[in-house]
Amino acid sequence: MSTHTLFRVVPTDSQAPTTPALALPLVEVDAIAKHYLLGRSLSVKSVDGVSFTIGKGEVLGLVGESGCGKSTIARVMTRQTSLTSGRIKIAGQEIAALDRQELKDLRRTVQLVFQDPFSALDPRMPIGASMEAPLAQHRIGTRDERRQKVVRMLVEVGLDETFYQRYPRQCSGGQLQRIVIGRALLLEPSFLICDEPTSALDASMRTQILNLLTDLKRSHGLTMLMISHDLRVVRHICDRIAVMYLGRIVEIADRDALFKTPRHPYTKALIAASMLDRTGLYAPEIQLRGDLPSPLNPPRGCRFHTRCAHAQAKCSQAEPEFEAVGDSHDVRCHFWRELQSERPGEQCSAHNTKSRIN
Ligand code: SF4
């Protein structure tokens, strides 16, 4: 049994993954929903009944097309926006119940790394001052100690002391993302959320940042949520992967199981698309019919049925529940058994998985 499996718990709602569990996780997300009201009667169901757990030291990947609700999950987990329903606990604390001081503490222990490092840094401030600011805000160390910490972190993320005096405009996108990651780690977070951390970077920078995150995961024992539209990104760093479609998780499994034996037709399409793409560009439309339906009016029954090549009458009438299909592997599809022989991701076996991208 893999280490992170030790932290799985039995979800409490009927829509949640059913995999058995053995110990308390660091992060518990239980049947959360986030609906945005548009006018009096319309609401966008950005996230609609999502549950998962993340064990200490585990990296969970959240993958799906743009607009499926991934980034909304990052925002509700840091209380940048409130939940419509459901519950999120981090280190045993329900985040909706935190008072002002506790929320400040949460924002120290839960750090976010976003897609665009340019907008994360003040262009008028030298890098050193930008990195020291959160330490000063949380009253950590003296001025000298903060400076030493920042210089050590610059080296740890693959830069050097000269960056302390530089301005953001004097750095490349990859260097800035290293700085943003380093700034997040200075606060020694117990949980790091990375929301598309490499999608603003070119292919070689993307590779370097993924390798850096992989190294930092090992050296700091990081617990992470890695959000990406790109399966190749989550494959290289995550222990477990959840596939999202239109506000819901449709499949969740250990990384190797997901790539070796994907069960949901949507997961299979994403894997096939990422394998077909030789250019470095991600192209799920190669395998998927039509566009992602509007979350304003999600399809009845299985939300994927309007694009699924295997849809049958039942699919438009009844929403599939999560079913355990193997150890630490759950799927939401009425016909996963019948579709077991359809494996566009078969060639992506776990044996091909590398820990680093070169
Ligand atoms: Fe396709 Fe039906 Fe399965 Fe949905 S439930 S993924 S429509 S086969």
The span from the CA of 62 to the CA of 71, in Å, is 9
Candidate from 289, 302, 303 with most ligand 1 atoms within 8 A of CB, to mutate: 302
Average pLDDT of the chain to the nearest whole number: 85
Distances (CA, A) of 308 to 26, 266, 278, 313, 319: 35, 8, 24, 12, 14
- The half-sphere exposure of 27 on its side-chain side, counting CA atoms within 13 A, is 28
- Residue 80 is given by DSSP the state S
Q: Are 18 and 11 in contact (CB under 8 A)?
A: yes
How far is the centre of ligand 1, averaged over its atoms, from the C-alpha of 44 (Å)? Answer: 23
For residue 277, the model assigns a pLDDT of 55
* CA distance linking residue 181 with residue 209, whole number of Å: 9
The three-point CA angle 8-9-13 to 5° equals 130
Q: What is the CA(200)–ligand 1 centre distance, in A?
A: 33
Pairwise CA distance, residues 131 & 125, whole Å: 10
In this predicted structure, the answer to whether residue 344 has a pLDDT above a threshold of 90 is no
pLDDT digits (tens, 9 = 90+) for 32-70: 999 988 877 778 889 999 999 999 999 999 999 888 999
Cβ(88)–Cβ(28) below 8 Å: yes
What's the pLDDT score for residue 263? 95
Write the CA distances from 78 to 70, 109, 179, 321, integer angstroms.
13, 10, 21, 28
Separation CA 274–CA 61 (nearest Å): 16
**Residues 235-257 pLDDT 10s:** 989 999 999 999 999 999 999 99
Ligand 1 atom 5: the closest Cα is on which residue?
333
Instruction: Decide which of 3.40.50.1100, 3.40.50.1110, 3.30.70.120, 3.40.50.300 is the CATH code for 3-91+190-345.
Output: 3.40.50.300
Sequential DSSP letters for 89-153: EETTEEGGG--HHHHHHHHHHEEEE-S-HHHHS-TTS-HHHHHHHHHHHTT-S-HHHHHHHHHHH
**Ligand 1 contact, 304 CB (< 6 A):** yes
**Residue 182's pLDDT band (cuts 50, 70, 90):** very high
Task: Give the integer Cα–Cα distance in Å for 334 and 331.
Answer: 9
357 lines ligand 1 (CB under 6 A): no
Give the integer Cα–Cα distance in Å for 332 and 344: 18
Please tell me the distance between residue 29's alpha carbon and the centre of ligand 1 in angstroms.
Answer: 25
Gap from CA of 349 to ligand 1 centroid (Å): 23
pLDDT of 219-232, one tens digit each?
998 999 999 998 88
Q: Find out whether 48 and 247 touch, Cβ atoms under 8 Å.
A: yes
Does ligand 1 have an atom closer than 6 angstroms to the CB of 302? yes
Ligand 1 mean position, distance from CA 304 (Å): 6
Q: Could you state, in order of their start, the residue ranges of all structural domains in the chain?
A: 3-91+190-345, 117-188
- Is residue 240 within 8 A of residue 252, CB to CB? The reply is yes
Tell me if 265 CB under 6 Å of ligand 1.
yes
Task: Identify the residue whose C-alpha is closest to ligand 1 atom 3.
Answer: 333
Is 141 buried (19+), middle (13-18) or exposed (0-12) by CB count in 10 A?
middle
| Better-predicted residue by pLDDT, 290 or 28 | 28
SS3 assignment, position 184:
helix
Q: How far is the CA of 41 from the centre of ligand 1 (A)?
A: 29
pLDDT at 5 over 80: no
Alpha-carbon gap, residue 198 to 195, rounded angstroms: 9
- Return the pLDDT at 10: 33
Query: Beta strand pairing status for 59-63 and 224-228?
Result: parallel
Instruction: Decide if 112 contacts 74 (C-beta within 8 A).
Output: yes
Predicted confidence at residue 265, as pLDDT, reads: 94
Nearest CA to ligand 1 atom 6: 333
* pTM of this structure: 0.85
Predicted local distance difference test score (pLDDT) of residue 18: 46
Ligand 1 contacts CB of residue 334 (under 6 A): yes
Question: Which percentage of the chain shows pLDDT scores above 70?
Answer: 85
Spatial separation of the C-alpha atoms in residues 182 and 160, rounded to whole Å: 12
Dihedral of CA 138/139/143/149: which sign?
negative
- Confirm or reject: Cβ of 269 under 6 Å from ligand 1: no
228: β partners:
63
333 lines ligand 1 (CB under 6 A): yes
Q: How many CA atoms lie within 13 A of 61 on its CB side?
A: 26
Encoded tokens for 299:
């399809």
